[in-house]
Amino acid sequence: MLLHSIDEVREVVQKWKTEGYKVGLVPTMGALHDGHLSLIKKAKSICDKVVVSDFVNPIQFGPNEDFDKYPRTLDTDMKLCDEEGVDIIFAPTPKEMYGEGQRLSNNTLTYVCPPFFYVNTLCGKTRIGHFDGVCTVVLKLFNIVQPDYAFFGQKDAQQVIIIKKMVKDLNVPVEIIQCPIVREASGLALSSRNKYLSEEGKKDALVLSKILNNIKECYKKGIVDVNALKETAYSFLTNKHDMEYLEIVDKDTLENKTAADDNSIALTAIRVENVRLIDNIYLGE
């Protein structure tokens, strides 16, 4: 069932709740791919009813980012959700979510602002305000759907850590489930932004998984010094790669480490054909 209004979603979900159903929410910005479908499948395996939100959230994009050209494929998304047995696709307009005439700044809208430490690192260093926008829309979705479980992908590892922190700090009654990264056979992590890449760009984009796999191999061979591990990456880079960051941090707290351990995660953001791609790997698994 495709729903556009908050009231309709609330009505249906309230009915489910009185019938004792467990409700799962998979928040997405649409342009669904196999990564999203893995979240939906996981939700279906745990919950009686599954809601997928399909909303390109304007307030998580910076002024020079790709909000306007972000792929919008609602018809295909609906077909895919249908095949997976999704109960509701919630596809609101920006007006439904944020009201008419809102200038979407924190002068006019109540924002959820995660702690500085969590947003002033990794993706947050260049995507100013991004995680405020993410947390704000995710909390709104939690309040609208009131799910028992919500499902997020490990590819956005920083996002999941920040959302878990928000849920804990604000006592939101939802359990966050993180699902593994889904990759193409080549190793490229699935992302809606892969659509922007040419065939050659897709090959160049393999550098992300190569760098991360190599770091993990080196760690498994006994190299733990974080600088030494990061150094191993540079030989993979060419002039087609614009590295924004490569970090090895604690997988639960994002704290920096000087020596990697089984609790570490290596994360990177690299631009290929001016498309910003992210990927990560747990060193301990």
109/237 with CB nearer ligand PAF: 109
C-beta of 154 vs 159, nearer to ligand PAF: 159
Q: Per the structure block, which two tokens stand in for 165?
A: 């922190």
Identify residue 184 by its one-letter amino acid code: E
Closest-CA residue to 160 (of 177, 173, 143): 177
Smallest distance from ligand PAF to CB 145, Å: 12
Reference 237, options 218, 219, 217, 214; nearest CA is: 214
Q: In angstroms, what is the minimal distance from the CB of 79 to ligand PAF? A: 19
Cα-based distances in Å from 205 to 2, 36, 212, 253, 277: 35, 20, 12, 28, 8
Active-site residue numbers?
A: 36
Residue count of the chain: 285
Nearer to ligand PAF, 13 or 138 (CB): 138
Question: Shortest gap between Cβ of 228 and ligand PAF (angstroms)?
Answer: 32
User: What residues make contact with ligand PAF under the rule CB under 6 A?
Assistant: 27-29, 57, 60, 134, 137-138, 156, 159
CB of 192 to ligand PAF, least distance (A): 8
Say if residue 54 is exposed, middle or buried (CB neighbours under 10 Å; 0-12, 13-18, 19+).
Answer: buried
Q: Which is nearer to ligand PAF, 31 or 229 (CB)?
A: 31
Largest CA-CA distance found in the chain, in angstroms, rounded: 58
Query: Cα–Cα distance between 47 and 147 in angstroms, integer?
Result: 10
Please check whether residue 151 is in contact with residue 160, taking contact to mean a CB–CB distance below 8 angstroms: no
Residue 67 beta carbon to ligand PAF: minimum distance, rounded to whole angstroms: 11
Question: Please, which residue, 16 or 90, has the CB nearer to ligand PAF?
Answer: 90
